[in-house]
Amino acid sequence: MEIVMSLLIGILFMSATYLMLSKSLLRVIVGTGLLSHGAHLLILTMGGLKTGAAPLLGQNAESYTDPLPQALILTAIVISFGITALFLVVAYRSYQELGTDNLELMRGKEGNE
């Protein structure tokens, strides 16, 4: 199972890298979304995918899945959610202000302070 997950994560990272190297800003943001998906799945996989009950003590199972990676992912998800929201708003604002979403055209240093 871990092998399949690793391949999947690899494909996600590949697509993310490809998208982040493109010119359009929205594609780049979609790329960062895929990148964080890949990273979160990677933590889950690296914590081990051995079968066990969900980490709830009420289940009275013999073994449980590792609760730590799930807590890490939950933290990482909300952080990347916050940053993606900010990124989208900055992209929207800069589309209004600069009139383009082409990263090649975002050059120069005029308009300082």
Question: Cα 74 from chain centroid?
Answer: 12
For every residue of 25-61, DSSP letters joined together read HHHHHHHHHHHHHHHHHHHHHHT-----B-S-GGG--
Least separation in angstroms between residue 11's CB and another protein is 15
Number of residues forming the site for another protein (CB under 8 A): 41
Exactly one of 7, 11, 14, 79 binds another protein (CB under 8 A); that residue is: 79
Q: How many CA atoms lie within 13 A of 88 on its CB side?
A: 9
How far is it, in rounded angstroms, from Cα 51 to Cα 72?
Answer: 19
Choice between 8 and 46, CB closer to another protein:
46
Residue 90 touching another protein (CB under 8 A): yes
Site for another protein in 41-60 (CB under 8 A): 42-43, 45-48
Interaction between residue 11 and another protein (CB under 8 A)? no
Question: Is residue 70 a contact point for another protein (CB under 8 A)?
Answer: no
**Member of 32, 49, 53, 70 binding another protein (CB under 8 A):** 32
* Contact of 35 with 76, CB cutoff 8 Å: no
